[in-house]
Amino acid sequence: MSWLLGTLLFISGFVFSRLLYFFASISVSYRLMKAANLSALYVFVKSFERLVYYNTLSLRDYMKHDPSERNAEVYKNKLEEELELFKKRCINTLVQSTPTLFRSTAPFEDWTGAMIYLNENRDFVLQFMRKKTND
């Protein structure tokens, strides 16, 4: 009888340790996916800032060579369409590449929602990007 009890205790202890390991792995995976999504959003925002800057320079240069108001407006509209396409593609790529199991790490569907999420986690992103040691 004690042999059976000892075997059952060993098996239940083994199963319990595997469950703890499983839940710890899920926790680490969740944090890793959240960090990856926030890092990707940070890179998207920095890229977007660069695009806006270069589009502004391009528009200013265009205005010097062709001062026509109508042409400048058409050129500006094309640049804005390009920026909207960039934002849409970035968010769609990020959302589609996030596995359904970790969908809660990316609770947004559009650029505005993504920027709200990024702003809510601003401290994490800034701390993550400023860290200079390789852990």
Pairwise CA distance, residues 91 & 45, whole Å: 11
> Which pLDDT tens digit goes with each residue over 51-72?
999 988 988 888 888 778 888 8
Q: Does residue 50 have a pLDDT over 90?
A: yes
Instruction: For the full predicted model, state whether its pTM sits above 0.85.
Output: no
List pLDDT tens digits, range 78-124. Answer: 989 999 999 999 999 999 988 888 888 888 899 999 999 999 998 88
Q: Compute the distance between CA of residue 115 and CA of residue 11 in angstroms, rounded to an integer.
A: 48
In the block, which residue shows the tokens 């680490």?
28
The Cα 56–Cα 90 span in angstroms is 21
